Structure 1
């Protein structure tokens, strides 16, 4: 990934020149939707056009291959297509003007009770959560200070990057003229620590719930309102970016910015190609300044150009995923958007990924397991984790309270741009689980009820959940979680502060600010705190389990303090980022 290194002592003349860059008017409304519905037995595809191919020509080729266009995006160059033709993918790969087709999802192929478990790292397993060392309430131990939010003393993550009342909040708390798009599984716009900054007008949902993997639809259309979160992940992410300073619970990195829900993930946690592309391109056209992407695009953990373990159709699907997401990211950056991504939770050196036995993770078999998953040898040259390894994306690794790279966090000298607090439940003096070593974030009440995390009286049933009562008597819930999903929004929040501090009026979107994403990225990376590799470079993690005893793992860091595989160009620094002059 291209790196832009900027000294914190950049000359005033250079910054003044780059900050003068503004964008041309955005061409909104580039997507065309056709009134066609799918039926059971059909397969949805994303068909990518060759650069320069017109929408009309592409549609003709798609029809000739046996496909029906459901919608298209002429600006970026792709269409969402349904087909029953067994050779549709092969025909599109051979058609003039088309790159090929990626199977988006099969309609009606998975069991109704199959829901992917994505919580093993981010929220720990049930066994891990049950072995908290002692029953002492972390909330009761918090030393509250009048100048801070009620739970600020539990936010070690904000303290680590200078996003505090004494730090960046005084210099630059963020501007309402700056928007951050949360591309996730939804954001609870009614949460008391989200609502003041939630932009309902800009928020969109590009996902249709799939009862076979998501459970029963909550609304008749199966398209949830754009202010709903049925899983809690997106709400946690959004709160780290921009929970307000309002005397309720916590505050985010940029407590005054606009939070925009741009939903691309299923309730079950799958992120398919089509809604991901739609979300990224919408952010570009809507005038969003930063997007947070704490996911990878399913069904492949690594998208390979020509892995011998994959069929020709699967190889084409992966090539299309890489190219289509890259095109959407390029489009977003051309419209002033800085994409920020989590690096992933596989504890893998992305420069030497080894073996992937989890892909493809969809479709599912009748027992709810990936039907076609197989062991594949992954090479660094031709396989990419998308979007973390796409060009133009700021890729973020995770750290724990001590500052160490989190035990689960991916890393790599080529891939790591910066690091940020994401939590590490085992980063404790005795290596045992502590909720407080994770990151505290907003938790939708509906999800807390559904998961049994609160009882009939609204009281938490777990030390991983905290209840606050707002001044007007409303309950607000928070949960501890960890992951590179939690690290990325800290970097996205700092990026939003940078646009707030150095941005200029956006002629394409009156009343808002804009900043060339190359400048935002340069300031974000250039003001990060250099963090050297541990000594010795092969770091040993020791975790203690009540059932398994001591669990030992290692990860090896490479590179100098100013740019290495564990920390990239350093730990993001909110205060430094907004204090260049």
Structure 2
């Protein structure tokens, strides 16, 4: 699962009523840094703004709904801001005046977990799609995931019409034939700006001049990563005689882009996307990522500097405020449990944070024995968020999926390429969903001259005369949208009509989602060993311990989501 301003003036993000924009003055030197600050509870906006100014910062945008501001300042700002009683702290974002790398050095740093992209680099002809049976979508036979949650049966009576689903991700390809009919271009927004390089000079999103429009600002119907398009397709690809169908094939897809092309997700775009969702009648949002640069945000870990502790406290505070704001306005919050294959309820070691260089020389370091009571991954562990673990075709918890009794709320199909009798890789055991054409060409997945699929992890459907493309991915990023899709069906079935279509209280949606999930007991023995025979001939084993009873438990939470049961008794 999982990377803003290059000029001197902030650019409006299209959030009516929530962002107050201001000039960033002459914040253009290499010493100027972008920060996100959270105002302290009980402080007035005026006193917080004064504290920012006193610390040497200048506000370039302000989210007045949740008391969060984006600030440009010098490198000494964080320490001064953290010492102010009017501010929670400052989360450093990036150097504003970083140089653009040479075009020849553009390398996409895919931050998405390896389990989602491990098929890359494997060549060979793609599989030939089976012929459809009956009145189904052309590639429906490849969607074992939909059968697992009984979505086809549910769709006979409920398809999510009138429900808006927000995709907080890397973007959505609104032109894809299996997304376009349900894509809401009017409401969709892009809350990010491409980042050419990080503070160490390493390529992030790549040179802006290589973009189609030569700028760092992507349109709200663009996805140059593919992750968000895949997620959106799983939730709401329509029944239109093309490719596949989603869980809620008549729900509206609203692109609320919060992720970079490279797969990083930063604080400011996420909080702005969530507050936008709350203000614009979004019913469900899917969040298949964590907020960078910290996998786990700790407020008092001794290995962290005071500045880093304050930064992580700021991330926790700002994200929780945004989550609370959205949920209080009717947004059901769904998130991926994570692909680290760890128990989130136990002490852990984090050697991956910080994963983004926001200041020169910054690099990840080891933090041992993280206390789950004081260290949290956001937004997955945020209050009011439905955390989703992943399953494979056999319904076992996927080998990569994180887990934990009391952490996981429900499980859903996320794919498991090694969920077979002999533990060898099988692409078909992962999740098939939409693949942007331009990205497929760039990644060498299809021949642009002939349209032929060149890799075994992609599939084409040309039955309608126009080819559409799909890719296999696996991860809790793929599990979460299945649960979000079922949540959309619940809103469609039980929600009341309002100005935006349908609405249903998030607490009610969660109650139905969990109570109707198919209970799945821990394996016996509870210490379950995964065996994977990798393509290079090596064998990898790992053991995960499932705690709890039949339901809830650490692998499946309340159970595997069930679309049919969620909209009515069998």
TM-score, length-normalised on structure 2? Answer: 0.91
1:449 to 441, 462, 466: 441
1:171 to 139, 142, 157: 157
The one-character-per-residue Cα deviations of 1:331-360 (angstroms, maximum 9, x if unpaired) are: 011100011000110101111142111110
What residue is the counterpart of 2:87 in the other structure?
Answer: 98
- For 1:430 and 1:137, locate their aligned partners in 2 and report how far apart those are by CA, in whole Å: 22
Alignment of 1:49-88 (within 5 A): 49-84=39-74, 86-88=75-77
What residue is the counterpart of 2:180 in the other structure?
Answer: 195
Moved more, 72-81 or 228-237: 72-81
1:438 to 421, 430, 445: 430
What residue is the counterpart of 1:385 in the other structure?
Answer: 377
When residues 464 and 432 of structure 1 are mapped into structure 2, their CA distance, relative to the original with a 3 A threshold, is: same
1:461 aligns with 2:454: yes
What residue is the counterpart of 2:340 in the other structure?
Answer: 346
- For 2:189 and 2:535, locate their aligned partners in 1 and report how far apart those are by CA, in whole Å: 44
What residue is the counterpart of 1:497 in the other structure?
Answer: 489
1:481 aligns with 2:473: yes
What residue is the counterpart of 2:314 in the other structure?
Answer: 320
1:424 aligns with 2:395: no
2:362 to 367, 371, 379: 371
C-alpha deviation, 1:36, in angstroms: 2.6
What residue is the counterpart of 1:554 in the other structure?
Answer: 543
C-alpha deviation, 1:226, in angstroms: 0.1
- For 1:441 and 1:336, locate their aligned partners in 2 and report how far apart those are by CA, in whole Å: 28
Residues 109 and 364 of structure 1 are in contact (CA less than 8 Å); yes or no, is this contact kept in structure 2?
A: no
What residue is the counterpart of 1:413 in the other structure?
Answer: 405
Secondary structure at the counterpart of residue 139 of structure 1: coil
C-alpha deviation, 1:52, in angstroms: 3.6
What residue is the counterpart of 2:206 in the other structure?
Answer: 215
When residues 360 and 511 of structure 1 are mapped into structure 2, their CA distance, relative to the original with a 3 A threshold, is: closer
What residue is the counterpart of 2:189 in the other structure?
Answer: 204
Secondary structure at the counterpart of residue 467 of structure 1: strand
1:159 to 147, 156, 168: 147
Alignment of 1:389-408 (within 5 A): 389-408=381-400
Residues 178 and 496 of structure 1 are in contact (CA less than 8 Å); yes or no, is this contact kept in structure 2?
A: yes
1:230 aligns with 2:216: no
- For 2:53 and 2:569, locate their aligned partners in 1 and report how far apart those are by CA, in whole Å: 55
C-alpha deviation, 1:529, in angstroms: 0.6
C-alpha deviation, 1:163, in angstroms: 0.6
C-alpha deviation, 1:400, in angstroms: 0.3
- For 1:502 and 1:229, locate their aligned partners in 2 and report how far apart those are by CA, in whole Å: 32
The one-character-per-residue Cα deviations of 1:479-500 (angstroms, maximum 9, x if unpaired) are: 0000000000000000011111
Moved more, 433-442 or 546-555: 546-555
Residues 111 and 365 of structure 1 are in contact (CA less than 8 Å); yes or no, is this contact kept in structure 2?
A: no
| Aligned positions, number | 538
- For 2:347 and 2:432, locate their aligned partners in 1 and report how far apart those are by CA, in whole Å: 30
What residue is the counterpart of 1:293 in the other structure?
Answer: 287
C-alpha deviation, 1:99, in angstroms: 1.1
1:46 aligns with 2:39: no
Secondary structure at the counterpart of residue 182 of structure 1: strand
1:514 to 503, 525, 533: 503
When residues 290 and 214 of structure 1 are mapped into structure 2, their CA distance, relative to the original with a 3 A threshold, is: same
What residue is the counterpart of 2:23 in the other structure?
Answer: 35
When residues 511 and 416 of structure 1 are mapped into structure 2, their CA distance, relative to the original with a 3 A threshold, is: closer
When residues 99 and 137 of structure 1 are mapped into structure 2, their CA distance, relative to the original with a 3 A threshold, is: closer
The one-character-per-residue Cα deviations of 1:171-190 (angstroms, maximum 9, x if unpaired) are: 21111x21000000000000
What residue is the counterpart of 1:145 in the other structure?
Answer: 133
Secondary structure at the counterpart of residue 513 of structure 1: strand
What residue is the counterpart of 2:275 in the other structure?
Answer: 281
- For 1:206 and 1:74, locate their aligned partners in 2 and report how far apart those are by CA, in whole Å: 16
Secondary structure at the counterpart of residue 214 of structure 1: coil
Residues 126 and 457 of structure 2 are in contact (CA less than 8 Å); yes or no, is this contact kept in structure 1?
A: no
Structure 1 unpaired stretches of 5+: 1-26
1:117 to 96, 107, 110: 110
Residues 421 and 487 of structure 1 are in contact (CA less than 8 Å); yes or no, is this contact kept in structure 2?
A: yes
RMSD: 1.9
What residue is the counterpart of 1:24 in the other structure?
Answer: none
Secondary structure at the counterpart of residue 118 of structure 1: coil
- For 1:108 and 1:526, locate their aligned partners in 2 and report how far apart those are by CA, in whole Å: 51
TM-score, length-normalised on structure 1? Answer: 0.89
- For 1:319 and 1:240, locate their aligned partners in 2 and report how far apart those are by CA, in whole Å: 34
